[in-house]
Structure 1
């Protein structure tokens, strides 16, 4: 009996959610700032892929429906990744400020 590929992919997605949840919640508080820095680095790699998708063009230079969808999805992904990077740096800056000694 063959398993439907959609069900297989959905099962992998659900397992990834559970693994991600337990990995994130098992991180000690001392590692949250470095973890945020790594997350910002990953988001910067994602934005490169989003910009490549937004710059897509057909082999003959014509804009077809699939190319327009690719450009639109790339633009949305670039915008969301930019918000994620900016927010990540703000959160990291705030977390680092918590470790500074307060002057009297």
Structure 2
């Protein structure tokens, strides 16, 4: 994965361009807590949308469910597809 990924999301009839990198995604993930998901999602969107589109995006972020949906779509699109397999452990403990 490159350091910087450009992602376009269509929300309603409007396209929004976001620029995401590992640092901003790490900051987002580290700020999530069981009681705090909307503010980190809002910050992720505001900090990654291209500056010219920020004013058009802000009214959509008034609804917390919209924040979660847009942030979720952005995170899902950014995430690489990685195949993970869990291997079964043997029944005997190793010494």
How would you bin the TM-score normalised by the shorter chain?
Answer: under 0.3
TM-score (norm 2): 0.27
Q: Would you tell me which structure has more strand in proportion to its own residues? A: 2
Q: Would you tell me which structure has more helix in proportion to its own residues? A: 1
